[in-house]
Structures are given as C-alpha cells and as structure tokens.
Amino acid sequence: MAIAIMTSGGDCAGMNPAIKQFVDYCFNKKIRPYLIYDGLEGLIDGDIKEATHDDVTGIMHEGGTKIRSSRSKRFFEYEYRKIAYENLQSHGIDKIVILGGDGSFRALNQFHQDFGVKFVGVPATIDNDIFGTEYCLGVDTALNVIRQATDAVRDTSSSFRRACVIETMGRDCGYLALVSAITCGAEVCIVPELEYDLDVIGKRLKSELADGRKYIVCIVAEGCAEDKCTSTNQLVQWLEKDIGIETRATILGHVQRGGNPTVYDRLMAAEFVTHAVDKLLKNEKTTDVVVYNKSEFQFVSIEYVNSQKYKIREDLLELARRLVN
C-alpha cells in the first residue's frame, strides 16, 4: 500500500514536523510513503518521490515545508487533473494526505470526484480561518513570532515614548491580530470582526497619556486596513496628528509564516497526521478533513468545511472589545 503527502497553498510552521511524522508513521505501519513536491503543480508535473528516512531527518525544527508548495491554475482544468492522476497511478498511489486550507481541500475533492482518489485534509493555515476546527496547524508558531516582534517593538517604543502600529497577516480574518493584542497587552486592536471608532479610541488614549501612559501599542489586521480604508500608514498619521504621539509602523508580513515550529505545533502536527493516515488505512472512500474541537480530533466532510465562513469565538472577541472604544 502507498500513501502520499503534499502541502498546498500558503506554507506554515508545523508542516515539516507533519511530513516527518507521516514518513515515520508509514514505515511503522509497513506502508510505502511518498512525497509530492511543489503542491498541485508538482502533482501535475509528476514530481513524486518515494520517501526515505533521510528525506525527513533533521526537519522538525525547520519552518516552511521541505516538499514546497504552490497554487495551481492548471489544476482547475480536467486535462491536467487527468495527468496528475496518471502520475499517481504510475506509483500505485490512491491515497493522499494534504496539508492546506479549504481551497486545497476543494481541489482534492474535485480530484476525488473525477478519479476516486481518497484523501484526508489537515487544516494548515496561520490565519486559523477554516470553518469546523478550532485550531489550524501553524497558528501557535505564528502567534509566537508576532509576540516576540511586538515585545521587541514595545521595548523601543517605551524608551522613546512612542506609539507603534504593528500589522499582522489576516486578509479576511483578524484572529492573529486579536489574540496578539490580548496577549501582548496592546492598547488598540483593529480587526474586521469588531466595529471601532477612532474618535472614541482617541479620547481614551489622550486621557491615558495625560494620566501617565508613556507609549501605545496598536495591532491591526491587514484585512481590516483594506476593508475599511484605514491603512497602517493612516493609523500612524492619526496617532501623530490627532493623538499627538510620535509613531512608527512595523509590517510583519511573511515573517509570520516562518520560524522554528513551537512544541505545540509539533505535537499537533504529529496528532493530525496520525489520525489522517489511520483514517485512510480503513480503505473507506474518504474525502474528510481532520479537525480539532474541544480537545478532541474529529473528521468532518469537505462539504461541512465549505458550508459556512469561520467566525472567531465570541468570548475572544469580548476580551478585545475594550480595545476598540
């Protein structure tokens, strides 16, 4: 029996520990593990290799994905999916573990409908925005990268009595910014999920500065800045002109996707992948996604994952409401 693993879409820390666990666990189960390089594009191009222990030695601490990733327009066309299927057949592979987001899962679901290839999806995206799971692989590492950067920027801001605006990733979901604002002690949190009023926030900040506050930390999600036309630079200008405090901006960008995977992401990677392989070994016609809810791993259908838009838990939103008024 042969099973392949691939990573698709945006990379994240935790993918390499998942790949290592996949290979080691397959060998333990007497299964031939295969690595699909370069995501869906590699599937089409036939960049598929039977894995050895040497392929995954020493990758636990590395961010990103050793087998690389991609997004593929070609995979939307049947003729290229057929080529991908023939590539799998040449290796005797009819089962895939895919690490990615809902777009990657939809692509594999269409692949299954076309050719019957079974797969289990592992949610892996730093935005933590996949419906049906409380946690996605890579989130904890991304949050720790943001925490480290925010703590460092706060140090210099407090030294110069400045404000800082820190922009996190999150085009459609403010999870990273919200949790970072709560856990880093920010004074302002701007995310798409919470209505905010700069006039009200400004009055609060002026009062706090008059009462002895020496610096301000403002964390903003990139998607919120786009949606509401409140760019990071505009927030800098607002803090300087309206609040009267010297301000610097830090856009973290893709640094949030990399970095040494945390212990939690390494453990979650091992558990996610183990459940995925076990599911595929049951020889069911599965197109499921393994999810994590209420401290338990479960399997849900791709249709369920795509049925609704992910929403941040209300209790987390409540913790940050004081930062938007």
Q: What residues are labeled active site?
A: 127
Q: Confirm if 107 and 75 have CB atoms less than 8 A apart.
A: yes
Beta carbons of 289 and 302 less than 8 angstroms apart: yes
DSSP for 151-189, written as a single string: HHHHHHHHHHT-EEEEEEP-SS--HHHHHHHHHHT-SEE
> Which of 318, 36, 7, 22 has its CA nearest to residue 193?
318
Residue 189's nearest CA partner among 319, 276, 96 is 319
Encode 135-151: b = buried (16+ Cβ within 10 Å), e = exposed.
Answer: bbbbbbbbbbbbeebbe
